Chain A
């Protein structure tokens, strides 16, 4: 099986206050098969270099958006990135096949507790439902959409010592994606990637 290259597009507008995303991103940056892009650092004025971003997409097999959930969606720079980079003739349209066959997923952190993201909870929708626009974007551009990988109640994750375990899972997920040993069909079906990982994640950990 062929090794996959991962493009990690990270959006966090206040990195100096980040407790969970920052260590996740920094750990991923150390991996040789991950290209880690801090979008707010690279484009502090939102002046996104379309050519550079498109060639990055072409060079990688797996695209990951990593972000803290802002109003049930991405921070604004990731939306800007989509608006500018996923051009007609590149990502969609009769000539736009550059992303066909790639894999796409979101790695998010959410402040709300996990149980809030369901019909009976105060957020009313599951996280997968809330991320539907991204799912459809992936489908229209011909990418395999995987369920999101998430951490909930993120504001208290450090205090409750949940970060390290989450980071270990995250690094393990990245390695499985890179080695292409993940069951993509199953990963597309589940509600959250966490469920799948819990069942196959090495028991010793």
Chain B
């Protein structure tokens, strides 16, 4: 037990110490984990051979990642992107694979090994590239959007690759492994399909996939709904984990890739109301496991190989970058991506990616690539990723300035995504806000923690998601970084204040509009940083008051004027009242000063109302006030 604690502590410490620094230096978190691994592995020798065991465990992060990739893929979005996705993405993966394969063949590798290497190097680093785009605000440029399509295609392409690579297994490696396992009397892997005839195996496989797709569609939603209504957050997390692990287990049992299963389940759930909540629950597990995976990769780096073959490794790295950039650059010309965007597209995706590590270790396990070759290639993948920040710097400092002068002449980038609005809480208040916005074509993301409420909305075709909007992770998956504004209309007073405070603190640029229950609440929301606050009862109560005035005989237009005057005075006094409220002593919300001001406010309003009725010329109600009776005496005919 003690050893486990010590080991876990070493891994966590390395991650905590190195990753934030790497990110600050612009290297990104993936490289941070790799460096952390290198430090605790080959450099200091704090961890030893157990990294191999841990790596197998950590690979489950990849399964989770593909579940999340699936969740992000709405069929509709895929269809809209089909040209760029298949055209750009497909050609990029295809051409790069062939070119890298040719080089590998030139190094006298057999064709199976060469093909596997080609596939591995056709992938780029989604993690590094997307993170850098976010940091530099390049995601919405033409180059950035096209790069995203390619990355998306690569992420999807990983699944057939995982299925295909075992076919390439080298007979002599398999044989060696068999000998080894025989010698060690390796225990049988748990399998449902061992020894089945192939036709039955086919049926079992199809049935398993059917279970995932149909179960995902018809069973998981009632289950999630049932759990959600219980209001137990940790049970929801447990359910999310159970789904992913259960599917992975089922797939392993029938001899299919767990990643494929969870990816399918993700796609099936992409349209469900639980999408954002599932994402935010699985995300931390995925992040930690993938981090652990990269640490183990770093820890496994063999400095012996690096020092003995450094010329080879460095030249291979540059070859990979040049080939990938070349392919991307020519594709960009074919697809008419112009100017600086062409460079951005070409340079940003020129590295190998984290999936390269995954596929490499997968290939070794499946006896496709010999271990020593894999170790060299691992270094090439890592080195190309280390060089990515340099390529971005090259783009920023050299390429971009060359195009800056001409960029003003060209047409503005076509903006596909308008700024979106996140509405937290879609009960009786948020619902009306949402209807108005949606009717005007504004993109909204609606969040509510009442599963029944979300169901009702979905039945009338209002796209909404189940989830607790006060959870930072959910806000993140709902896209708060890109949102233009947030409407806070949740029913819990305290949580509304906390949410406003958190959002204004973490994302100061986002405008927050908040619904308050009463004056006191509105001050608290203002104090928390809300940009615009409306007390929920104010306008409706004024309307009822106005109707009452009309009913007792006031002229409707006069009532409108009086109502407006009332609102003006309230509005003018609100700043003073707020300051009084702020100066309150602890425990005494409404101090004497505040009460005094409130009484004065009521008197001002009363006075203004009376004056308006008298028809005198006064300062508070001036609209359409007639001039004095004798005013024409001043005018003389010519």
Name A residues whose Cβ lies closer than 8 Å to a Cβ of B. 47, 50, 83-84, 87-89, 92-94, 140
Interface string of B513-532 (1 = CB under 8 A from A): 00000000000000000000
In the bound complex, do residue B622 and residue A87 qualify as a contact, i.e. CB atoms below 8 Å apart? yes
A140 to B625, CA, bound (A): 18
A residues within 8 A CB of B623? 50, 84
Q: Closest CB-CB distance, B633 to chain A, in whole Å?
A: 9
Report if B79 contacts A (CB, 8 A): no
On whether A47 and B617 interact (CB within 8 A), knowing A84-B623, A88-B628, A94-B634, the answer reads no
Secondary structure class of chain A's binding surface, majority of residues: mixed
A-B contact pairs, 5 of them (CB 8 A): A84-B624, A87-B625, A88-B627, A92-B627, A92-B634
In the bound complex, do residue B622 and residue A89 qualify as a contact, i.e. CB atoms below 8 Å apart? no
In the bound complex, do residue B624 and residue A83 qualify as a contact, i.e. CB atoms below 8 Å apart? yes
Interface string of B310-328 (1 = CB under 8 A from A): 0000000000000000000
Closest to A50 in B: B622
Closest to B623 in A: A84
Q: Which 6 interchain pairs have the tightest Cβ spacing?
A: A88-B627, A94-B634, A50-B622, A93-B631, A84-B623, A93-B634
In the bound complex, do residue A89 and residue B624 qualify as a contact, i.e. CB atoms below 8 Å apart? no
Interface positions of B from 606 to 631, Cβ below 8 Å from A:
617, 622-625, 627-628, 631
A137 to B34, CA, bound (A): 79
B residues within 8 A CB of A84? 622-624
B residues within 8 A CB of A89? 617
Report if B333 contacts A (CB, 8 A): no
A84 to B621, CA, bound (A): 11
B residues within 8 A CB of A88? 617, 625, 627-628, 631
Name B residues whose Cβ lies closer than 8 Å to a Cβ of A. 564, 617, 622-625, 627-628, 631, 634-635
Closest to B564 in A: A47
Closest to A95 in B: B634
A140 to B631, CA, bound (A): 13
Q: Closest CB-CB distance, B630 to chain A, in whole Å?
A: 10
A87 to B625, CA, bound (A): 8
Closest to A94 in B: B634
A202 to B634, CA, bound (A): 45
Q: Closest CB-CB distance, B636 to chain A, in whole Å?
A: 12
Closest to A48 in B: B623
A161 to B623, CA, bound (A): 43
A residues within 8 A CB of B622? 50, 84, 87
A197 to B627, CA, bound (A): 39
B residues within 8 A CB of A87? 622, 625
A residues within 8 A CB of B628? 88
Q: Closest CB-CB distance, A137 to chain B, in whole Å?
A: 14
A residues within 8 A CB of B624? 83-84
Known: A50-B623, A84-B623, A92-B634. 18 other contacts (CB 8 A): A47-B564, A50-B622, A83-B624, A84-B622, A84-B624, A87-B622, A87-B625, A88-B617, A88-B627, A88-B628, A88-B631, A89-B617, A92-B627, A93-B627, A93-B631, A93-B634, A94-B634, A140-B635
A140 to B635, CA, bound (A): 9
Which residue, of A89, A93, A140, has the highest number of chain B Cβ atoms within 10 A?
A: A93
Q: Closest CB-CB distance, A41 to chain B, in whole Å?
A: 17
A148 to B638, CA, bound (A): 25
A residues within 8 A CB of B564? 47
Closest to A90 in B: B622
A47 to B623, CA, bound (A): 10
A residues within 8 A CB of B625? 87-88
Q: Closest CB-CB distance, A129 to chain B, in whole Å?
A: 20
B residues within 8 A CB of A93? 627, 631, 634
A50 to B634, CA, bound (A): 24
A93 to B633, CA, bound (A): 9
Which residue, of A50, A83, A88, has the highest number of chain B Cβ atoms within 10 A?
A: A88
A88 to B635, CA, bound (A): 13
Q: Closest CB-CB distance, B119 to chain A, in whole Å?
A: 52
A47 to B565, CA, bound (A): 10
Which residue, of B623, B628, B635, has the highest number of chain A Cβ atoms within 10 A?
A: B623
B residues within 8 A CB of A140? 635
Q: Closest CB-CB distance, A180 to chain B, in whole Å?
A: 28
A94 to B630, CA, bound (A): 11
A57 to B627, CA, bound (A): 20
Q: Closest CB-CB distance, A173 to chain B, in whole Å?
A: 30
Q: Closest CB-CB distance, A47 to chain B, in whole Å?
A: 6
B residues within 8 A CB of A92? 627, 634
A87 to B631, CA, bound (A): 12
Q: Closest CB-CB distance, B557 to chain A, in whole Å?
A: 12
Closest to B568 in A: A47
A89 to B627, CA, bound (A): 9
Closest to A87 in B: B622
Closest to B619 in A: A51
Closest to B622 in A: A50
Q: Closest CB-CB distance, B248 to chain A, in whole Å?
A: 53
Q: Closest CB-CB distance, A194 to chain B, in whole Å?
A: 30
A84 to B625, CA, bound (A): 8
